[in-house]
Amino acid sequence: MRLSALLRLPAFVAVLLWTIGCVPQKSVSVAPQDKQVAYMGRVGKPSQETAELYWSGTSVKLNFEGTGVKARLKDSSGKSYYNVIIDGDSLSILQPDTTSKLYTLATRLAPGKHTVELFKRTEWDKGTTTFYGFELENGGKTLPAAAPKTRRMEFYGNSITAGYAVEDYSGKDSWAGTNTNHYVSYAALAARFFDADYTCVCKSGIGVTISWEPLIMPELYDRLNPSDPSSKWDFAQQKQPDVVVINLFQNDSWLVNQPNHAQFKRRFGTTKPSEEFLITAYQNFVKSIRAKYPHAHIVAMLGNMDITRAGSPWPGYVEKAVAGLQDQKVYTLFAPYKDTPGHPRVEEQQALANQLIQFLQKKINW
């Protein structure tokens, strides 16, 4: 009897070990401030437990080993949209709710190494998203973040740079829902072509001297949280950009001719601004950027909406502003008028990107 029990013991041990092996392992939480979490753009970090995502093109990225990943998010309005990018390829769209929820970003992945990226496709006025961290499925583990990219770009722009209505082919030219997608804007396309990290400070309707809404770019450009005037970005906290692209004045070109608009009255009273005023205002904004980035190449870009149509005086204003700066690392680049209704669609954004790419390759040998 005792011998029989001993003979059965190995089989019992094998079953026990198999049972232990089948017990699900706990998921792994990755906090927002974990050193393996990589951010791109201006990101608020109010605590160890949270990060705040405001601007178009803001990105949160994690390299990991495992079969699935989730993220806990909460949006201030429920109108923000994100591209979920797995392994730099597959893409889905996520719309975070106004209550904190855990969202499955990927599951049933092949065992091994993977990358997940959350990329904000919508503008800051559509909502601020609070990021509470990632969660890796059973047995998952974090991997070291990729080395910082050697190139950096920064963009200051309006709806063109934001990718406003870029995927709206209905003819309505609407921002609503998934129509706006900064991921396929010329800015994002050019940055990916050069394998550059980048920051985008943009807002539909914004101008240098006047906007459709109260804020103008000289009042917004140095903010961390764009909704908070007291929230200032620390320009010294990250590597200085090699290239800064300014694509503004499109909205100014319309609004300076609308004396009955509330913002015209607020900014100019009853008198249309002079050419000298516009040139000086543009120069002063470029000087503000130069003061932050003494060594950057700065591209004063216009287009591809009607600001560059035949007969437009605005390219001339920019040329005079740049010439007056006497700065050998400030350049002009004017994209041809697309001559189609509404905002640039995907193929027109690609054309803008191609022109910027070719310009930088030629001008600064990138």
Q: Look up the CATH number of the domain holding residue 36.
A: 2.60.120.260
**Angle of the 186-193 helix axis to the 346-363 helix axis, nearest 10:** 50
3 domain residue, yes or no: no
Count of residues making up the chain: 366
Pairing of strands 151-157, 243-247: parallel
Lowest pLDDT segment from 13-22, 129-138, 190-199, 337-346: 13-22
Please compute the mean of the pLDDT values over residues 61-85 and round it to a whole number. Answer: 98
Scored b (16 or more CB within 10 A) or e, 23-39 reads eeeebbebbbeeebbbb
Which has the closest alpha carbon to 242: 189, 301, 195? 195
Task: Tell me whether residue 194 is in a domain.
Answer: yes
Do both 138 and 182 map to the same domain?
no
Beta bridge partners of 83: 93, 119
Task: Specify if 23 maps to a domain.
Answer: no
pLDDT for res 335: 98
**Would you state the pLDDT for residue 238?**
85
Cα separations (Å) of 360 from 76, 167, 241, 269? 38, 27, 14, 40
Specify if 285 maps to a domain. Answer: yes
Tell me the two tokens of residue 68: 């699935």
Residue 258 domain-assigned (yes or no): yes
pLDDT of residue 223: 98
Amino acid at site 302: L
**Least confidently predicted of 4-8, 21-25, 93-97, 223-227:** 4-8
* Residue 248, C-beta contacts closer than 8 angstroms, at least 6 positions apart: 156, 157, 158, 206, 207, 208, 217, 282, 285
Of 125, 142, 159, at which residue does a domain stop? 142
**Reported pTM:** 0.92
- Calculate mean pLDDT across residues 315-321: 98
Which residues in the chain belong to E strands, given as ranges?
A: 28-30, 38-40, 43-47, 50-53, 59-65, 69-75, 82-86, 90-94, 101-106, 113-120, 129-136, 141-142, 151-157, 196-202, 243-247, 297-302, 330-334
> Does residue 34 belong to any structural domain of this protein?
yes
The percentage of residues in the chain with a pLDDT greater than 90, rounded to a whole number, is 91
Strand order in the sheet with 330-334: 196-202, 151-157, 243-247, 297-302, 330-334
The last residue of one of the domains, among 123, 142, 161, is 142
pLDDT of 18 over the 60 cut: no
Say whether both 62 and 109 belong to one domain: yes
Model confidence at 180: pLDDT above 50? yes
Q: Are residues 168 and 276 in the same domain?
A: yes
Answer whether residue 121 shows pLDDT above 80.
yes
Q: Kindly give the interhelix angle for 275-292 and 314-325, rounded to the nearest 10 degrees.
A: 50
With beta carbons less than 8 A apart as the criterion, state whether 256 and 272 touch: yes
3-state secondary structure at position 315: helix
Six-digit token string for 172: 């309505």
**pLDDT of amino acid 24:** 58
Residue 301 lies in a domain: yes
Question: With 70 as the cut, is the pLDDT of residue 9 above it?
Answer: no
**pLDDT tens-digit profile of 223-258?**
999 999 999 999 998 899 999 999 999 999 999 999
Burial state string for 67-82 with b = 16 or more CB within 10 A and e = fewer than 16 = bbbbbbbbbbeebbbb
Is residue 287, in this structure, part of any structural domain at all? yes
Q: What are phi and psi of 178, to 5 degrees?
A: -95, 10
CATH of the domain at 319: 3.40.50.1110
Cα distances (Å, whole numbers) of residue 350 to 38, 166, 177, 183, 221: 27, 11, 22, 11, 25
Please report the pLDDT score of residue 165 as a whole number.
Answer: 97
Shortest CA distance to 300 belongs to which of 178, 127, 156, 203?
Answer: 156
Helix or strand or coil: residue 276?
Answer: helix
Domain interval for residue 326: 151-363
Task: Check whether residue 240 and residue 96 sit in a common domain.
Answer: no
On whether both 128 and 233 belong to a single domain, the answer is no
pLDDT, position 7 = 37
- Residue where a domain stops, chosen among 142, 165, 183: 142
- 46 and 168 both lie in a single domain: no
Cis bond before residue 304 (omega within 30° of 0): yes
Confidence (pLDDT) at 1: 40
Count of domains observed in the chain? 2
Whole-number mean pLDDT of the chain? Answer: 93
